[in-house]
Every structure is written in structure tokens, then in C-alpha cells.
Amino acid sequence: MSVPGYRDMPGQQWDPRQPVDTREAEDFLDLFHRENPQRGDVRERLARVVDEIAETGTYTHTYAELVFGCRVAWRNASRCIGRLYWRSLVVRDLRKVGAPDEIFEELVRHLRLAGQRERNVIRPVISVFAQHVPGRASARLWNEQLIRYAGHREPDGLITGDPRNTQFTETLQQYGWRGKPDNPFDVLPLAIEGPGGDVNLYDLPEHAVWEVPIEHPTLRWFAELGLRWHAVPAIANMRLTIGGVDYPLAPFNGWYMGTEIGARNLADPDRYNLLPVIAERMGLDTSTERSLWRDGALLELNRAVLWSFDQAGARISDHHSESERFLAHIASEERAGREVPADWSWIVPPMSGSTTGVFHRYYHEADQRPAFYLDSEARDLGRRGRSPNTAEPSEAPPSCPFHEPTPPATPPEPRGWFGRLFHRP
Ligand code: ARG
């Protein structure tokens, strides 16, 4: 979906041929030593880094720098409401892993570590693969998240599944993937491109994909809709940049806030578009907007999501609690002498905004590094992939992987494919 007023952040443009900018390395090392005084004198480290850059065009982070860099990239993510926990991010150092088969194995391990169904645990994890070397191609992942559902276009044009991923699904089909075209929650394979440009598709094993069936605490019929969602949101196409060094493959996950699923993924008119179906089952008057049937249906869908995740032991936060935690995070950061960059249009939840504390204030916006960036090529690959017969991905409208800002004023016409999904004999 194209979002009016969306601007690329400055760091989203990058030139993969340029050597590391020593000023960026210096800023980062200063920050690292300032916040970790036990790590010794920054001047010594900086002198070695400057030499390394002069010789090779880049430098290698120590493990401690890498861990700190990842955590601060999260701390700086101005669109994320869940940053109170930035210090708890588990960092997997996979900088030596570069072959597609091994990358896939490690991504499966990532998902198993991040979401432990048997122990009812979901925790934030990042897997950092090989750093970018100026002028050299690196392995990459096309998928925007490790787990996403296919959007299968049927011959009559209706879509089964998540319309967000229709083009991506079609590209994967050009590479021979079939999937299960009548399953509305058909998990997409991972498309891993090796440094030589070869693309390999990998199906995720069932044990790596924790899914939660959606039921409602009081509305019995809700379960009959057959809805489900995956428990672990793992962003896979953002470039991590730390002290001038880029990590093009560094997937990371947190846990869900209910509204991401209940007020966006399952509700948006250009996603699963379920509000008309739910309102009808609830017996609401859909002939007039003034019955607020959309709002009524939205509320029950969101109660269902939270309740189902709780039943399944899958960690999920609600927007009221997460809003309070974010305000606590701002307060504790301010006590530490740091400002929290934040983007109001992303921080305010997509339902009941004014009932949350985060609505009633302004924020300071800034592009601080270390950071995660979604550059246009990765964004494009995540939306459509690269078809085997075109060298360059085609221009796609900008999009964002977190819960997105307010959609355009005129949403596309509901296409009625939910009717097909949920009323099939
Ligand atoms: N909004 C995205 C989705 O629904 C996930 C973005 C990351 N969210 C998170 N809670 N860490 O799939």
C-alpha cells in the first residue's frame, strides 16, 4: 500500500561500493565506550579501526560492539513502541555463515529459539550474518518476514490468503513453488539469494512455525471462521547499520502487539478484510456507517486475538499496557540523558488511539544510528521478489514492515474474496 507523505529516511539510500565512513565508525565507538566505560580507552580502538578501514575498506566489530550495536539499533527504531526491552535482545553472531543452505538452517534455529512453544516463551532475537564488504555482493533474503502467508490469485482474480503477498507469491511460483492454493494461511518458503545471484527456495518445517488458532472468549462461532496467525513477527529485509558497517542479512523478532494482527493484518480492507464477515455474524446493521459496525467488529476481533494468544501461551501485548511501557521507557531514557526518537503516526496504536497515553503528546523525530533501514531494493524484493526473466526488480510503492501509519483516504474496494475463503462448502 502506498502511504501519502511517506519519506525515505536519509540512511535508506546507501552506496554498497563506498568504503566505511570513518566518522561513522568514530561516532559509534565513542558511544560504545561512553556507555560501556569498562571497555577501556576508545582512542586505542579507534586507531586500529582507522587502519583497518584504510587497508580493507571496512572493519570487524568485536562481539561486544556487535551486541551493543544491535541493541542500540532497536533503541533507535523510532517506529517501535516496544523498546523498553532493548537491553534484552539476544544477539546471535553468525558472521561466518554465508552459504544459502547454512543460512536456512540458522533461520530455522532462530525461529525455534525465538518462539519456544513447549515452554510458552517468545523472546526478542537477532541473527547477524556476514557483514557487507564494499564492492562485493552478499547473500540476502527476499522475504520481508521469516513467516508470511501466501496470497494465491485464483483464475477469476479472487485472492486466497494475504493479498499483501500476492506479487511475491507469483514470483515464487515462477521459480517453481506451488504451495497450497486453497489454504488462506499458506506459509511462504524462504527465498535466499546467494552472493552469486542464484536463488534457492526453502520450505520452513512445521516445528519452526508456531501458529495460534483464533477463537473468541464468548462468541462460539468465531472459531468456525478458521482464522489463525503466526506467533513470531520476524522482520527479515531490513539492513542493520552499525558504525558505518552494514549487515544486509540480520533478521530480528519481537513479540506481537494484538492490534498488529487484529486491527491491521486481519482487518485492513486490502489484507484479510474480515470486518464485514464478523459484523454480519454478529448481526450488526451494516447498512449504515452510523451503527459503528466496523468498530464493533474490530473490537471483538481484537479481543479474540488477545484471548487466543493467551490460551496458546504465546506472548502478546495489548496496546494499553504497551503504551504505558513505552512512556516508562521514555522516562528512563531521559533519566539516562538520552532522547527517544519516535514517530507519532507509528507509535499510536491503530485502534482506540486516544485511550492510550502515547496519543496525548508529541515526540522528537531523529535519524540516529546504529539503525535498521529498509532500503528500496529490499523493500521491493519483499513485495514482489525478482522474477527470473528481469534483472532489476520493478518499482514498487514504498511500504513498511511494522504496523503502518494511517492508510490512504480511499482504500481499495473490498474484493469479496473472504466470501470465498470462509463460505466455501
Ligand atoms: N506489523 C508486522 C506484522 O504484523 C510486524 C512488525 C514487527 N512487530 C513486532 N511486534 N515486533 O506482521
pLDDT of residue 10: 60
pLDDT of residue 403: 45
What's the CA dihedral at 175, 176, 178, 184 to 10 degrees? 0
Q: Which of 71, 74, 75, 80 is catalytic?
A: 80
Question: Ligand 1, closest atom to CA 404?
Answer: 1
pLDDT of residue 402: 47
Contact by Cβ (8 Å): 226, 182: no
Question: Active-site residue 255, yes or no?
Answer: yes
Distance CA 319, CA 78 (A): 17
Distance of CA 304 to the CA centre of its chain: 22
pLDDT of residue 376: 85
Tens-level pLDDT at each residue, the chain (425 residues) = 334 444 556 666 788 999 999 999 999 999 999 999 999 999 999 999 999 999 999 999 999 999 999 999 999 999 999 999 999 999 999 999 999 999 999 999 999 999 999 999 999 999 999 999 999 999 999 999 999 999 999 999 999 999 999 999 999 999 999 999 999 999 999 999 999 999 999 999 999 999 999 999 999 999 999 999 999 999 999 999 999 999 999 999 999 999 999 999 999 999 999 999 999 999 999 999 999 999 999 999 999 999 999 999 999 999 999 999 999 999 999 999 999 999 999 999 999 999 999 999 999 999 999 999 998 888 899 889 988 876 455 444 444 444 444 444 443 333 434 434 432 32
Contacts of 307 (CB under 8 A, 6+ apart): 215, 216, 217
How many CA atoms lie within 13 Å of 148's alpha carbon, on the beta-carbon side?
28
Question: Ligand 1, closest atom to CA 264?
Answer: 4
pLDDT of residue 378: 84
Question: Active-site residue 80, yes or no?
Answer: yes
pLDDT of residue 9: 61
For ligand 1, atom 2: residue with the closest CA: 402
Residue corresponding to grid cell 488458532:
213
CA of 252 to the centre of ligand 1 (A): 11
139: which 3 cell numbers?
A: 547473500
Contact by Cβ (8 Å): 74, 86: yes
CA of 233 to the centre of ligand 1 (A): 5
pLDDT of residue 424: 30
Q: Which of 86, 210, 229, 255 is catalytic?
A: 255
Question: Active-site residue 260, yes or no?
Answer: yes
Residue corresponding to grid cell 525515505:
8
Nearest to 296 by CA among 276, 266, 312: 276
Nearest to 158 by CA among 279, 1, 273, 301: 273
pLDDT of residue 13: 76
Task: Tell me which residues have their CB closer than 6 angstroms to ligand 1.
Answer: 82, 233, 235, 254, 256-257, 260, 265, 401-403
CA of 265 to the centre of ligand 1 (A): 10
For ligand 1, atom 10: residue with the closest CA: 256
For ligand 1, atom 5: residue with the closest CA: 402
For ligand 1, atom 6: residue with the closest CA: 402
CA of 404 to the centre of ligand 1 (A): 9
What's the CA dihedral at 323, 329, 335, 337 to 10 degrees? -110
pLDDT of residue 417: 41
CA of 35 to the centre of ligand 1 (A): 29
Q: Which of 215, 260, 300, 322 is catalytic?
A: 260
Which tens digits make up the pLDDT trace of 229-263? 999 999 999 999 999 999 999 999 999 999 999 99
